[in-house]
Chain A
Amino acid sequence: MGRSAFLAVLTTMILGVVTLEAGYRSVVASGQEKPSAMEVRIDNFSFGPAVLAVPVGTTVTWTNRDDIPHTVVSSDDPKAFKSKVLDTDEKFSFTFSKTGTYPYFCSIHPKMTGKVVVQ
């Protein structure tokens, strides 16, 4: 085909790919716009991730993968949440229905700290 025709086809293809990609992104984005569950992994005497940003209404689940028990306790007074003792593989969940910053720590090993930022 002629050069201009080739360029036209190429442009169409590129535009087509861009459109498809944009369409894909918007599908993924809408899927991520309102996640309902987020995870924090407790391991090696630390919370991972240490700072977790979530939208309002999210339920966060902490899972203890360490070989020693831990707790998840809000640092605020009064405490926004407080788990029972979590042995290895035990979980604790809390749903954040109000915006704000929620620092927390392990009441058994108080050097372990984390934060949930709810927007």
Chain B
Amino acid sequence: MFDARKKDEILHDHNRDGVDRRGFLKCMAWAGTGAFCVMQGGVLKSYSLSRLPEMSPKDAMGELSFVQISDSHMGFNKPANPDVAGTLQVAVDKINKLSAAPEFMLHTGDVSHLSKPEEFDAVDQILKSAKPQDVFYVPGEHDVLNDDGKQFLERYGKGSKGAGWYSFEKKGVHFIGLVNVMNLKAGGLGTLGHDQLEWLEDDVAHLKSSTPIVVFAHIPLWSVYPEWGWGTEDSAQALAYLKKFGSVTVLNGHIHQTMQKVEGNVTFHTAASTAFPQPQPGKADSPGPMKVPAEQLRSILGITDVNYVQGKHALAIVDSSLA
């Protein structure tokens, strides 16, 4: 989380028109340290930051802050990062240093690399040192190998339905954890499936359209790059059920890089991995682990800090690297 005392803090509300050229350059300068800018229809929009450094933590009613981490791949040990436990610990240390302690964490999957019990145990152990002790998980495809996800459900899926989907409320924000890594079909993308979609329709049916919604799932719910399987086949149906809501934030992992897209009232955001980066769409032969010089690794792994301020349309999403 970068220091808000720096004078070029970005304050543009994304509901206004795009940032001008000076704003664009400021935005780009922040990209390395963790601010978030997105091009939409050729217009650059930046996201307003939550005013945590200025406000006292218990201040505004409805103030909510949480962190998303993703793709810890515990058990991975190849050159792209021979010490994923170390980088996960760095991520936890960084979370612990945030000026306003996040209330909880979301882990958007690929907790383990090979679904081994000792890998899950290692992550649990490291996360014990995190200040936010509540962690909500959804599985990645690496978490459900060999046993159709039974182990993952036992560890992290209490109270969930089906393959592990569930929802909960925090300070008036409705969170929905979806599972799109089961029953993957040959040549296919991520998939939610009929049962989960029916559950989702029912889950949000009674909610007021002013309720902010946060959906989290492993594989992106928008088509980032189908050639590499970076998308979900039946996400359109899910998004149709969320159409009535004024603010929907979709948080994903899987692609090991930050990317953002805004479509109407829906903001899609993918997180960096705490383990290893992957290439940008199409920039390599395959989406495999991307090797970078060792001294650069931590600057492309990262965490995502999310803040909700009551009355604001969009959640403020700030990515920051581990270095």
A is bound by B: yes
The chain A residues found within 8 Å of chain B, CB to CB, are 44-46, 66-69, 71, 75, 84-85, 87-88, 103-105, 107-111, 113
Contact assessment for A110 and B184 in the assembled complex, using a CB-CB cutoff below 8 Å: yes
- Cβ–Cβ < 8 Å partners of B79 in chain A: 67
CA distance in complex: A104, B286 (Å): 19
CB of B72 to closest CB in A, whole Å = 15
- Cβ–Cβ < 8 Å partners of A107 in chain B: 141, 184
CA distance in complex: A65, B289 (Å): 14
CA distance in complex: A27, B23 (Å): 76
- Give a binary string over B293-323; 1 marks a CB under 8 Å from any A CB, 0 the rest: 0000000000000000000000000000000
Contact assessment for B288 and A66 in the assembled complex, using a CB-CB cutoff below 8 Å: yes
Known: A45-B228, A67-B289, A75-B185. 18 other contacts (CB 8 A): A44-B286, A44-B288, A67-B78, A68-B289, A69-B113, A69-B145, A75-B186, A85-B145, A88-B78, A103-B186, A105-B185, A105-B186, A108-B142, A110-B184, A111-B189, A111-B227, A111-B228, A113-B187
Contact assessment for A110 and B289 in the assembled complex, using a CB-CB cutoff below 8 Å: no
- Cβ–Cβ < 8 Å partners of B18 in chain A: none
Contact assessment for B286 and A46 in the assembled complex, using a CB-CB cutoff below 8 Å: yes
Any chain A CB within 8 A of the CB of B287? yes
Any chain A CB within 8 A of the CB of B229? yes
Contact assessment for A104 and B115 in the assembled complex, using a CB-CB cutoff below 8 Å: no
- Cβ–Cβ < 8 Å partners of A103 in chain B: 186
CA distance in complex: A107, B147 (Å): 13
- Cβ–Cβ < 8 Å partners of A68 in chain B: 288-289
CA distance in complex: A15, B142 (Å): 63
CB of A62 to closest CB in B, whole Å = 15
Most buried by A among B114, B189, B288: B288
